[in-house]
Structure 1
Amino acid sequence: MSSYKKMLVAIDLTEEAPQVLNKAQEISKAHGAELLLVHVVEPVGYAYGGDIPMDLTELQDQLDKAAKEQLAAYGKQYGVTDNNQVITVGRPESEIHRLAKEQDVDLIIVGSHGRKGFQLLLGSTANGVLHGTECDVLAVRIH
């Protein structure tokens, strides 16, 4: 197993996030690696296909603010410094790929629900991250 120096852990800020964070913390300690804690907020317009005739800026701002607060709480709990906590807006797979490249990450850690059936082995985000990245990816099974 190679030695990892910088690990990106992508979480969805649900009650399942600690399962991924615990595994990430364990691996980062074993390798003496730096942790980069990431959450990607999907644009509100994506959920509605971009076809709603109203301004969603305030709702998006509220989602961003709530995400920053929750990520900061996880950062404090897991000892991840403020400058290693990233909230970004976009498609999760694309943003994770972009950040991994920009930050010279050598391991990406994501959660996976491991649903039944081969095509659902990984969730769509975990699968999207796996395909198209240049570094190792660890999918942590969510129970």
Structure 2
Amino acid sequence: MSHYKKLIIAVDLSEDSAKVAECARNLAAGSDAELHLIHVIEPLSFAYGGDIPMDFSGIQDEIHQQAVQQLTRFGEIYHIGPERQHIVLGRPEVEIHSKAKEIGADLIVVGSHGRYGLALLMGSTANGVLHGANCDVLAVRVGSNS
């Protein structure tokens, strides 16, 4: 089995994120691999198509602050320092690819709910990350069917 040197763990900060992080930590154990965390915040304008004449900046700022607090706590649990915690704004698959390339990750670890059919077509972050990644991707089964 390959020994990965730099892993990036994509988390949505739900309770499923712990399972994804545990899997990554187990892979990294013994190989002195560097762990990074990434959480992607999708702009509210994506969800609403950008056609609503409202200023979402205050809400978006609050979402960002909550994400910083949660990711900081998550990083403390898994001994991943602030310099290796990344919160970015954008489309998850695009931003995860970009950050993985930027830091030179050789493995992206992401949770997957194992969706299929219409649910998969409607958008799966794990599927989006898998397609187009420049490194290996490990999809960890999470959710009620795990």
Is TM-score (shorter-chain normalized) higher than 0.5? yes
- Alignment correspondent of 1:127: 127
The number of residues matched between the two structures is 142
Partners of 2:22 and 2:33 lie apart in 1 by 14
Between 1:93-102 and 1:27-36, the stretch displaced more is 27-36
- Alignment correspondent of 1:94: 94
- Which structure 2 segments of 5+ residues have no match? none
- Alignment correspondent of 2:7: 7
The answer on whether the counterparts of 2:13 and 2:70 sit within 8 Å (CA) in structure 1 is yes
How big is the shift at 1:134? 1.2
Partners of 1:96 and 1:11 lie apart in 2 by 10
- Which structure 1 segments of 5+ residues have no match? none
Superposition CA RMSD, Å: 1.7
- Alignment correspondent of 1:141: 141
**Runs of 4+ that moved beyond 4 A:** 116-119
Alignment of 1:1-143 (within 5 A): 1-117=1-117, 120=120, 124-142=124-142, 143=146
How big is the shift at 1:69? 0.4
Partner AA of 1:97 in structure 2: H
How big is the shift at 1:96? 0.5
Partner AA of 2:106 in structure 1: D
| Alignment TM-score, normalising by the size of structure 1 | 0.94
Shift of the 117–47 alpha-carbon distance from structure 1 to 2, 3 Å rule, reads closer
Partners of 1:127 and 1:30 lie apart in 2 by 29
Partner AA of 1:103 in structure 2: I
For residues 93-131 of structure 1, give each alpha carbon's deviation from its aligned partner in whole angstroms, at most 9, with x where no partner exists.
00011001110000000000013459839x611111111
The answer on whether the counterparts of 2:115 and 2:124 sit within 8 Å (CA) in structure 1 is no
